[in-house]
Amino acid sequence: MDKIKNLEGLRAFAAMIVVVHHYILAFLPAMYNGNLTEAHIGNGAVESYLASSPLGIFYAGNFAVCVFYVLSGFVLSYKFFKTQDYKILSSAAVRRYFRLVLPIFATVFLAYLGMKFGLFFNKEVAAASGSYWWFAGQWNFETSFLHMLKSAFYGVFFQYDASYNTALWMITYEFFGSFLTLAFLAFFGTLKKRYMAYIICGLLLIRGYYWAFLLGVILSDVYVNKPEIFQTLKKYSAGLAGPILLLIGLFLGAYPLGKNIDGTVYKFLGNDNGVFWHVLGAFLVTASAFAWKGLSNCLSKTWLMFIAKISFSIYLLHALVLGSFSSYLFLRLKDGMPYISAVLVSFGAAIPIIFIAAWLLTKYVDIPGIRLSQWIYEKINKIS
């Protein structure tokens, strides 16, 4: 399937937001939870403000994951809506596990080696940053080769297991969400009145992450079968539909999960609704990429296409770099320079390492994994 460039650019931004999010949690936790006892910038007022401000969108990691889910729903359904070929669904279903498992195993194995050779320094960083509740507990268990294999090939996919790599918590949702998407398309994808299925399934899924996949399917359906909707939006909004969708989506995407929203600009949205608002925000931001040509052009830049190509590997690898290289460098620097300077240097130095490692993982593991999944499907298809 040809890549839709604006969506690939959005994927690239989402991957980088997750990276920043985890570095914030590790080194500047007050920017997430507003806890002044964990603050490191002045008296903590800036960090406390950002923890419940729309500016938090720049490190809104959960929102970025919701963007990934919306994009998955879109991509998995796009070719089917274009062709109405049910073989596309069976192919995607057979290939899904094998497409994901090799790069996931590679990063879990790297984490296992890091634990065996004492290459993670997250506990020491947590003692300095105050991130006891998040960073200190990672890689803090007795491991074995068999345990690592079970986690990589089973736990990550079926049990929300993120013990070796905190970023992997979302893979179970991604895995089951993909099959939910394919099942929905198999049952309702060709019905003329499938909007009824959208409504019913939407009401059933609206309180969780799986709603994001359905919204991705709806967006794909509109893009393929009702593209005039976007033109109508542009026409009757004087070209403002896209910017409005984007601004609302970004505002919702920054809804704080780590801090009570009473007394903040988000109070009117209510507490304990974070996932709902993040999913809705992700949908609106993705829709804005189609409703606003200017944004679409910005998201289609060549440099973003490169990041998008390695985005899955960036997502899988960055937490390992954070716990090892960045943590070690920070510990060496923190006594000789201001705290925030040590954080910025540790983050900046990690970016090229993350990108190079992601490029290598993409070339030598992820792409071969995609080819393997296709080969397995072809073999199974011949037998059946």
**Average pLDDT for residues 213-242, to the nearest whole number?**
90
> For 319-371, how does the pLDDT look when each residue is reduced to its tens digit (9 = 90+)?
999 999 999 999 999 999 999 999 999 999 999 999 999 999 999 999 999 99
- pLDDT beyond 80 at 234: no
Q: With pLDDT > 90 as the criterion, what percentage of the chain qualifies?
A: 93
The confidence score (pLDDT) of residue 235 equals 77
pLDDT mean across residues, the chain: 96
Residue 244, token pair as written in the block: 């409005």
**Average pLDDT for residues 73-85, to the nearest whole number?**
97
Contact 316, 17 (CB under 8 A): no
**Average pLDDT for residues 269-291, to the nearest whole number?**
95
The confidence score (pLDDT) of residue 384 equals 66
Query: What radius of gyration do the chain's Cα atoms show?
Result: 21
- pLDDT category, 2, cuts 50, 70, 90? low
The residue ranges of DSSP E strands in the chain, in sequence order, are: none
As a whole number of angstroms, the distance between CA 114 and CA 315 comes to 18
> For 263-275, how does the pLDDT look when each residue is reduced to its tens digit (9 = 90+)?
999 999 998 889 9
> For 93-122, how does the pLDDT look when each residue is reduced to its tens digit (9 = 90+)?
999 999 999 999 999 999 999 999 999 999
The residue ranges of DSSP E strands in 262-338, in sequence order, are: none
The residue ranges of DSSP E strands in 50-123, in sequence order, are: none
**Average pLDDT for residues 302-330, to the nearest whole number?**
98
Residue 29, token pair as written in the block: 């936790």
Contact 288, 80 (CB under 8 A): no
Contact 305, 5 (CB under 8 A): yes
> For 236-261, how does the pLDDT look when each residue is reduced to its tens digit (9 = 90+)?
777 899 999 999 999 999 999 999 89
pTM: 0.96
Only one residue has tokens 């089973």, namely 154
- pLDDT category, 54, cuts 50, 70, 90? very high
Residue 39: strand, helix, or coil = coil
The confidence score (pLDDT) of residue 381 equals 85
Contact 253, 57 (CB under 8 A): yes
